[in-house]
Amino acid sequence: MTDDQLLRYSRHILLDEIGIEGQERILASHALVIGAGGLGSPALMYLVAAGVGQITLVDDDSVDLTNLQRQIAHTSERVGQAKVESAAQAMRAINPDPLLRPMQRRVDAQLLDMLVPAADVVLDCSDNYATRQAINTACVRHGRPLVAGAVLRFDGQITVVDQRVSGTACYACLFSPQAQFEEEACSTLGVFAPLVGVVGAVQAAEALKILIGAGRSLAGFLLMLDGRSMEWTRMQTSRDPACPVCQSAA
């Protein structure tokens, strides 16, 4: 590391769980973040601030005035701009060193099969069920750890899918890919603004822990937050022996 890097990341380096070696692992890592909205905004800011060496951010949307209540990577001046470009601009202002790869694309299985194998960790910051299932399938297929988050109204949830941790559930073990329901969206039901910041920050923390190998991840657990009472619930999960995703990939 350069002298500037030693100074910039000094508060990480002081931690016994990170130190110089852990920070060097962060600098050499590649994170794939899907979604540059409410969850992606704080997650991306913390990843770039921590010095993740390469960050690929994918989102097909543009900044809208209704986003600004919670999507803190964007500004009034950037309404109409691609979210990935707006987020990249905010990230470069925090830390110009990491390599950023913004992609204004809607993810599908083909794109995921191209991007996921190149990443050390994947963060699902998307906002719809089908995309979450596709990301989970790709991460299981290619053996990449996934940090999945979701927020709606006053409720948030986070889990980690990591096939390296024996017996732990994938996203499809918890939420069936065959489930038929009406897609709920914050555009019709609303979302409590600070909650996406809390969940997105936890996603970034889990991703960084995975990259440096510190502590215990949320693999095997579903962490849920009730924003009305600010109560966390931690539920242990296990692999579904009939899961169509992780059992077929085993």
Active site residues: 186
Report which of 39, 57, 203 is spatially closest to residue 119, judged by C-alpha positions: 57
What DSSP string runs through 99-142?
EEEEE-----HHHHHHHGGG-SEEEE---SHHHHHHHHHHHHHH
CA distance 250 to 242: 12
Q: Indicate the residue type of 8.
A: R
CA distance 191 to 122: 24
